[in-house]
Amino acid sequence: MVEPTLPVLPLTSALRGHLAPLLESVLAAFRDQTGVDLLPVDADGVAEEPAHVLLVLTGGTEAQALAFAGRARGPLLLLSHGAHNSLAAALETAARLRADGRKAHLVHLGAEAKEALPVWAQAVGLARKLRGQRVGLVGDPSPWLVASSPDPALLREKLGIEVVLLPLEAVLERLPPEVADLPIGEGVEIGEEARAMGARVHAALRTLAEEQGLTALSIACFGLLPHRMTACWALSRLSDAGIPGGCEGDLPALLALMAAQALTGGPGFLANPADLDLRRERLILAHCTVPLGLTESHRLRTHFESGLGLAVEGSLRPGPYTLVRFGGARLEHGFFVEGSVLPEPVGREDLCRTQVLFKMPKGALQRLLHEPLGNHHVLIPGHHRPVLSTFHELFLAA
């Protein structure tokens, strides 16, 4: 879970005397109004953050702010309050930074801060949690993901995430001959051989993640089908264990799964938009895997397209969810919609095994159709649109 804290660099004019009481009172006011703890640190500490927060305590601090901005690459947030010419200095500084092409935002103590600052803190906290993670791309992305295969270097450039390219053979080489912990649950045309296969693939991926120090991975799972294997069960169990597991080598979808883990402490559900009802604003999402921690019940099935191996047919818990998609050649676009997973079963045999009926707000389905970003979307439990939109605008948008 993301903590509502922000390291800040206090800025004061040299003309002012001892300002410790002012700093303490402003910090307390922000905390009381927003619930966010502002932690004063030095310039080096703030420069190391994914976004840089400057607390403008007094006027006459414009040059200090610009000097700091010259050494820091990330977006900047100026915090002002209603005394000591703080707002005047923050306005002047923000105007210059934007003229210089920098992402610069201003939040003033009061009603605006109460709404905006907690969202900012969570968005920056999300970026902080993602930075430094090491994720695996196992096998080449599926060839049909023509809009979902950005340069892996983008994740390092924009978010500080390292992508490790691994061959599919790395999984096959780590398959144990047998395992004792077989998949549990009712099976439909699923025997012991399929259960053992699912457990072996899970063990191989878990071993690969441990050896490579991976915090998340996406596998070109269709490459396993010639070996009469699937990764559906393995990805479900990895995700439940806190290692987001994505399908088909889709990096934008894996990023959304990582965001789900960071924001909620649990997994998201990656799926294909499969059918829709514009009049009733309903979308059917389906895939052959789902983290069991998100389900009320599940059955073991074969993989839909191939009829092979082991897949998961889960019944997702109803309630509020956020539908997420990152897209664009440089991940500069985003789709974030809050809605509800409905309790009504879909029960179709012409779609992937886990099927979800998602009620969307008015106009969202039109946007999905008219401004598509690609196939895979991720459902994250809870309301997260403001945080994800802010995160995207700060760290991914052009």
DSSP state of 107: E
Helix or strand or coil: residue 367? helix
pLDDT the model gives residue 146: 77
Nearest CA-CA partner of 273 in 370, 351, 341: 351
Q: How far apart are CA 269 and CA 345, in angstroms?
A: 16
Report the distance separating Cα 11 and Cα 67, nearest Å.
12
Cα maximum dimension of the chain: 79
Q: Which amino acid is at 107?
A: V
How far apart CA 272 and CA 248 sit, in angstroms, is 12
Give the predicted TM-score (pTM) of the model: 0.95
Amino acid in the structure at residue 321? Y
**293 secondary structure, DSSP code:** G
What's the CATH architecture for 5-130? 3-Layer(aba) Sandwich (3.40)
CA angle 142, 148, 150 (to 5 degrees): 105
Q: Where are the domains of the chain?
A: 5-130, 134-395
Q: Contact at 8 Å (CB) between 376 and 250? A: yes
Q: Give me the pLDDT at residue 1, please.
A: 67
Q: What DSSP string describes 190-257?
A: --HHHHHHHHHHHHHHHHHHHHHT-SEEEE-GGGGGGGT---HHHHHHHHHTT--EEETT-HHHHHHH
State the Cα–Cα distance between residues 12 and 209, nearest whole angstrom. 48
Cα separation, 244 vs 253, whole angstroms: 10
**Strand duo 295-301 + 311-316: pairing:** antiparallel
Residue 154 and residue 235: Cα distance in Å, rounded? 24
**pLDDT of the residue at 140:** 83
Residues 6+ away with beta carbon under 8 Å from 279: none
Query: How many other β-carbons are positioned within 10 Å of the β-carbon of residue 308?
Result: 17
Q: What is the 3-state secondary structure (H, E, C) of 29-48?
A: HHHHHHCCEEEECCHHHHHC
108-122 residue pLDDT tens = 999 889 999 999 999
Instruction: Check: CB of residue 268 under 8 Å from CB of residue 379.
Output: yes
CB 146 within 8 A of CB 225: no
- Which residues of the chain register pLDDT less than 70? 1, 14-18
Q: Give me the residues paired with residue 336 across strands.
A: 324
**Both tokens assigned to 198:** 């699912």
pLDDT the model gives residue 295? 98
**Alpha-carbon distances of 201 from 113, 176, 182, 282, rounded to whole Å:** 49, 8, 11, 35
Residue 142, pLDDT score: 77
Model pLDDT, residue 335: 98
Helix or strand (DSSP H, E) at 142: none
d(CA 72, CA 43): 10
Q: How far is Cα 122 from Cα 391, in angstroms, rounded to an integer? A: 8
The tokens for 220 are 């070109």
d(CA 101, CA 89): 19
